[in-house]
Structure 1
Amino acid sequence: MMQRQQRLRQSRSPAWDNLPSTALVIIFSKSSLKDRIYNLPLVCKSWANTSHHPHCWVSFTVAPPVDAFVKSSPAFLDPFDGRRSTDPQIGIHAFQSLISKAAGGSALTSLYFYPFLTSLDGPSNDDTLLKLIATSCPNLKNLSFHGSFNASEEVLFQVVRSCPNLELVDFSDSPYFIPAILQEMEIHCPNIRGIRRNGFVQPFLSSTLIKCFPGLKLLNLSDSSIGDRDLLTLVTGNSRLEYLDIMRCQSLMLYMHIIKGAHRRIAEIHYD
């Protein structure tokens, strides 16, 4: 009788270690990077084995929605809780370790590398991290430069030329949103469909955006310095734009008149 009750209890308990590997991979991919690194592999042996599957590491953010790179960026979870070292090698080694988990980088499609950057008190490691992306991540689709300030133009060109599948790019809190980089992306990244930019936007850069990315659908310029003239150029010159965010853009004065006409063609516009 006791043996029968024990078998019944066992049959009712959740067999986490018996979940199929495909289900576990989905669980991993929908979890934060911090959980994937420190917690999930410790659940049981089968979960530890699953953590070696490259598809668990296709994104350094919580999988989907991938549009977060444009619509919600830079609201990504820092797996290291802001514990950034002044030693640039620590971030580089951590980045290399995660790339190795993603089939040496070939499986990686989405990443932001802010947590791997050295602290402001240490020497910069931006170029080294970007070179790792250029040499190891040819299938990258979504990339956030958020928090990077010290990369050289040469290395930025190397990334753009090595990642032809880029679709969503986040330029938040970085100085890389300039015509030279955008023009290089026009040549080598034909699939760009979404861009995020806060902070300073060069006057008349809207013309460059329209020319370089005729297929642009998602544009987030919230908290940027864009003015009325450039906004008008964007909404009248881009026929495919579906999403536009201009929240908290202090340089806009006549935007309500511009937005009123743009609503006929742009499905989703955020403004205040």
Structure 2
Amino acid sequence: MNNTTTSNPKKLCLSVVKDEVVVVGGGGGGEWESLNPEILALIFTRLSAEERVGVLPVVCKSFAACVHGPYCWAEIDIDQWCRKMDRTGFQVDSAVRKLVRRTRGTVRRLSAFKVGDPGFAYVANCGRFLRVLQIPMSDVTDKMVERHAISFENIAVLDISYCLKITCKGLESFGKNCKTLVHLRRNMPLPEVLPSYNVNGTGIKPDDNEAMIIADTMPGLQHLELCYGRFGDVGLEAVLAKCTALTHLDIRGCWSVKLDGDLEDRCYQLQEFKSPWHDEFDNEASSGSDSDGANADVESSSDED
């Protein structure tokens, strides 16, 4: 794509192949200077955020104006960029602030990795229309969540997986303020990183606090992922009893859960349930040659509203 930057902007052609945009030099691409920024944005949003920022602005003035405006950034997904070269929290927060500023308050989705308190606070102040907030493995603290959770009252999808500085306090603040929440991801690290955790579920008392808070403050949840949570049957019972809209539940690795009584039957009545002992590889092997079914099951675990 970099080879096209010296081409005549009025002779550029954008080709969309299998959801990928290719910039081709020459060949009568059209009068780009006269195209509406909203039309250009429909094409540019198929590119990664890194390509939009690093390539398009040097192609021509109309491209630069579009990329620096709000139309290209209603949905900001820089998760992969954040993971490249192990970006620092400062770099991530700077990128988040820069891109959210371009939206002029219209951002609807943010997906980033390793967001810190400064980046989170900036999004809270500028993202009143935010519907999807995905910030796994971020360093956001309870204090910052308690201060700004009211600003996220419109979010429907929240991913705070591996956010170890967010505890029950932060989770409760999200629940009390985000009344439209329907999809929560709160997956935690594998038990090997927690020395006190026994993979057999013995020798440790279950901690049902987070599950109880979810049940009490997020009754409208439809999708819930709590992989490697430390809750037991008490917390699971509360979630099933109070989250009556629940259709998808993933509790893989929650080895303190025993599914005693009627819990197992109630879980399997859900549209999709992944138990503490669920194994994707076992499912794929048992499906024989029916690979399509196995792939569909794997993909369903990452579906979003």
The runs of 5 or more residues in structure 1 that have no matched partner are 1-10, 63-75, 118-125
- SS of corresponding position for 1:48: helix
Q: Which residue of 2 aligns with 1:260?
A: 265
The secondary structure found in structure 2 opposite 1:78 is helix
How has the CA–CA distance of structure 1 residues 83 and 43 changed in structure 2, closer, same or farther, with 3 Å as cutoff? farther
Q: 1:52, 1:101 within 8 Å by CA — same for their partners in 2?
A: yes
Letter of the structure 1 residue corresponding to residue 135 of structure 2? F
> Is the contact made by 2:109 and 2:132 (CA closer than 8 Å) also made in structure 1?
yes
Give, in angstroms, the shift of residue 254 of structure 1: 3.5
The partner residue of 1:203 within 208, 218, 221 is: 208
Cα displacement (A) at 1:155: 1.8
Matches for 1:122-201 after TM superposition, within 5 Å: 126-149=116-139, 151-199=140-188
Q: 1:98 to 1:235 in 2, by over 3 A?
A: same
Residue identity opposite 1:192 in structure 2: L
Give how far 1:59 is off.
1.9
1:269 is aligned with what amino acid?
A: F
Check conservation: 2:215, 2:243, Cα contact below 8 A. yes
For residues 53-91 of structure 1, the C-alpha deviation after alignment (integer angstroms, 9 at most, x for no partner) is 3021122228xxxxxxxxxxxxx42257235248x3x44
Identity level (%): 22
Q: What residue is the counterpart of 1:55 in the other structure?
A: 71
Which has the larger share of strand? Answer: 2
Q: Report the Cα offset of residue 45 of structure 1.
A: 3.9
Alignment of 1:29-48 (within 5 A): 29-48=45-64
Question: Relative to structure 1, is the Cα distance of residues 238 and 83 closer, same or farther in structure 2, using a 3 angstrom cutoff?
Answer: closer
Distance across 2 between alignment mates of 1:255 and 1:109? 41
Deviation for aligned residue 1:49: 2.6
Distance 1:153 1:237, change over 3 A: closer
- Check whether the contact 1:142–1:167 (CA below 8 A) recurs between aligned residues: yes
CA RMSD of aligned residues (A): 3.3
Q: How many angstroms apart in 2 are the aligned matches of 1:113 and 1:159?
A: 18
- Give the gaps of 5 or more residues in structure 2: 1-25, 190-205, 279-305
For the pair 1:213 / 2:218, whether they are aligned, the reply is yes
| Corresponding position: 1:102 with 2:94 | no
CA distance in 2, matches of 1:242, 1:260: 14
**Quick one: structure 1 residues 40 and 268, their matched pair in 2 at CA, closer, same or farther if it must change by over 3 Å?**
farther
